[in-house]
A and B are shown apart, each in its own frame.
Chain A
Amino acid sequence: MSENVKKKQIDRRWIFLLLFLAVAIPLIFVIGLPIETTENVRMVHGLIEQTPKGSKVIISFDYDPASKPELHPMGKALMEHCFDRDIKVIVTALWPMGVQMAEDIYSKIKDNYPDKKYGVDYVNMGYKAGGIVTIQAMGKNFRDIFPQDMNGTSIDELPILDGINNFDNLGFVFALSAGDPGIKQWVQVAHDTYGRPVSGGVTGVSAPAVIPYVNQQQQLIGLLAGLKGAAEYELLTETPGTATSGMDAQSVAHLIIIIFIVAGNINYWRNKKAEKKRGE
């Protein structure tokens, strides 16, 4: 069927080079194209704005360095937003490397919040395996699953966890999720079983599969999807970061890929026609 294509095949390495330049050049020469916010991101922003001061929330870092460019800016903007609003942050991780991701963000921003204390306004509970079953166990007895924080301090000595025996007294759960286990499991347990509000940020790859949860039932309250979602959130919280500065490159690269698709199709159909003529 596609015999025709292979005759005029260009070496894919030229395409690689073109894409490399399409991403590198806009990073160096910033254009500063405008960013617009979408409803799902405004919903996430609204959720944090409406959460009363002093509330305790879980932010689950369920990703590793492979998704850092997309999820890290979200995590940073979110944590700053929570601290600005005096929301107390309990960090958990269903992926072992999520612990380091959270620590990386905290160490970067903590100097801007000198009055926020570890153990009072922020705590990192570390990593637990077991995915959905472990989340369900947290919903029954949080203190059984997390007897200590990541430093080995007993949960009873951490004031931020006073009154946290399960999900009952949490303002919301926010999952930064790159796959399984992640946001789907939080929706299924924290919202659909224990009735707590759940929101989250996901990689572009998993966004379409998660989007049906943003619905009337509010299984998810808004969703940050990929780098664009991160950039919109940075815009709303007025903390431009790596997501915002990456959007120019993102735009140009998308354009290049679209051009590739169109050119590839034109090429294909032209060859096909030529072949038909020859065949006649």
Chain B
Amino acid sequence: MKRKIPLLITFLVGVIIIISEFIPHKPFGQITGELENWYLIIAGFAIILGQLSLFKVNLFKIKHRQKNWQFFIITLLSFILMVSIGIFWGTENHPGIFGNGETISNTIGTKPFDYLFDNVYQNLQATMFSLLAFFIASAAYRAFIARTLESSLLLVAAILVMLGNTSLGSALTGWLPESLSFLHLPRISEFIMKYPTTAGQRAIMIGAAFGIIGSSLRIILGIERSYLGGE
């Protein structure tokens, strides 16, 4: 009961979706359309679940005084802050339960939710990801070594693409005559991208696609059940 019905649901839903691809006639399209609408709503609940689980996990860590537990208080506080100002006064285009909070908006320029998003969140996220520029530079010097024919090919292609993808590439080889224009760095980089890279990435894409097709099929047919969890 706890396992059989979910397996049956997965099977029926998967099969209906696949069938309706080939049979445009009623009622398959309608059923699929309805299922897809439900999916959106359930996905919404799943996101809520995700955020609440995060809350729960952090609460657990604080309660059991896990390593660095003090920092997780900050996580919880920022979460509560963002949610409450979002619900009280809403977001840029959405009123909250206390309306639009005009007094506050007039004082700080925007709604508090957007103020936090624009000034704190945006900068935090953008900076987190910009750290990677530094790590790439350091790894470039310390770890990217051409030890084999394979890695040499990789690095040469990388350098050509990097040169071609800058203004520098045009400046360096801009003097080449028309008859040698294929040696122009931006052209070389475009060539690498358009042919060998497309070929390589296409091979990966196809391999991965068969993998996804295989696992989808196993899930629909109930052969693969790990998504239901243990017990």
The residues of A with any CB-CB pair to B shorter than 8 Å are 2, 5, 9-10, 12, 15-16, 18-20, 23, 33-36, 38-40, 64-69, 100, 103, 124, 128-130, 133-134, 136-137, 140-141, 144-145, 150-152, 207-209, 211-212, 214-215, 226, 228, 247-248, 250-258, 260-261, 263-265, 268
Tell whether A140 pairs with B29 under 8 Å between CB atoms, given A12-B142, A65-B125.
Answer: yes
In the complex, what residues of A have CB within 8 A of residue B198's CB?
211-212, 214-215
Contact between B167 and A150 (Cβ–Cβ < 8 Å)?
Answer: no
A243 to chain B, nearest CB (A): 12
Tell whether A261 pairs with B144 under 8 Å between CB atoms, given A130-B43, A254-B165.
Answer: yes
Complex CA gap A184/B17 in Å reads 20
Closest B residue to A6 by beta carbon equals B142
A-B contact count (CB 8 A): 166
Closest A residue to B45 by beta carbon equals A129
Closest A residue to B204 by beta carbon equals A209
With A65-B126, A151-B94, A212-B205 already in contact, 14 other A-B pairs whose C-beta atoms are closer than 8 Å: A16-B134, A19-B133, A33-B170, A38-B186, A66-B125, A100-B92, A130-B43, A140-B33, A226-B165, A251-B167, A253-B133, A254-B165, A264-B140, A265-B155
Interface flag for B57 (CB, 8 Å): no
Complex CA gap A68/B129 in Å reads 11
Interchain residue pairs A-B with the least CB separation, the first 8: A33-B167, A137-B36, A251-B166, A260-B141, A260-B140, A12-B138, A65-B122, A251-B168
The majority secondary structure among interface residues of chain B is helix
Contact between B201 and A133 (Cβ–Cβ < 8 Å)?
Answer: no
Contact between B122 and A211 (Cβ–Cβ < 8 Å)?
Answer: no
B36 to chain A, nearest CB (A): 4
Contact between B140 and A144 (Cβ–Cβ < 8 Å)?
Answer: no
17 residue pairs from A and B, CB less than 8 Å apart: A16-B138, A18-B137, A35-B170, A38-B190, A65-B125, A66-B128, A68-B126, A129-B43, A130-B43, A133-B39, A137-B33, A140-B32, A207-B193, A228-B165, A253-B133, A254-B165, A261-B140
In the complex, what residues of A have CB within 8 A of residue B174's CB?
34
Contact between A247 and B43 (Cβ–Cβ < 8 Å)?
Answer: no
Complex CA gap A253/B174 in Å reads 20
In the complex, what residues of A have CB within 8 A of residue B197's CB?
208, 211
Contact between A145 and B142 (Cβ–Cβ < 8 Å)?
Answer: no
Interface magnitude class on chain B: 35 or more
In the complex, what residues of A have CB within 8 A of residue B134's CB?
15-16, 19-20
In B176-197, the 8 Å CB interface with A consists of 186, 190, 193-194, 197
Tell whether A129 pairs with B47 under 8 Å between CB atoms, given A35-B167, A64-B125, A68-B122.
Answer: yes
In B13-29, the 8 Å CB interface with A consists of 29
Complex CA gap A212/B193 in Å reads 9
Interface flag for B44 (CB, 8 Å): yes
Tell whether A134 pairs with B39 under 8 Å between CB atoms, given A69-B126, A261-B144.
Answer: yes
Contact between A264 and B137 (Cβ–Cβ < 8 Å)?
Answer: no
Tell whether A15 pairs with B171 under 8 Å between CB atoms, given A129-B47, A134-B36, A215-B198.
Answer: no
In B102-132, the 8 Å CB interface with A consists of 114, 117, 121-123, 125-126, 128-129
Contact between B141 and A263 (Cβ–Cβ < 8 Å)?
Answer: yes
Interface flag for B52 (CB, 8 Å): no
In the complex, what residues of A have CB within 8 A of residue B39's CB?
130, 133-134, 137
In the complex, what residues of B have CB within 8 A of residue A12's CB?
138, 142
In the complex, what residues of A have CB within 8 A of residue B74's CB?
none
Closest B residue to A11 by beta carbon equals B138
A209 to chain B, nearest CB (A): 6
Contact between B165 and A268 (Cβ–Cβ < 8 Å)?
Answer: no
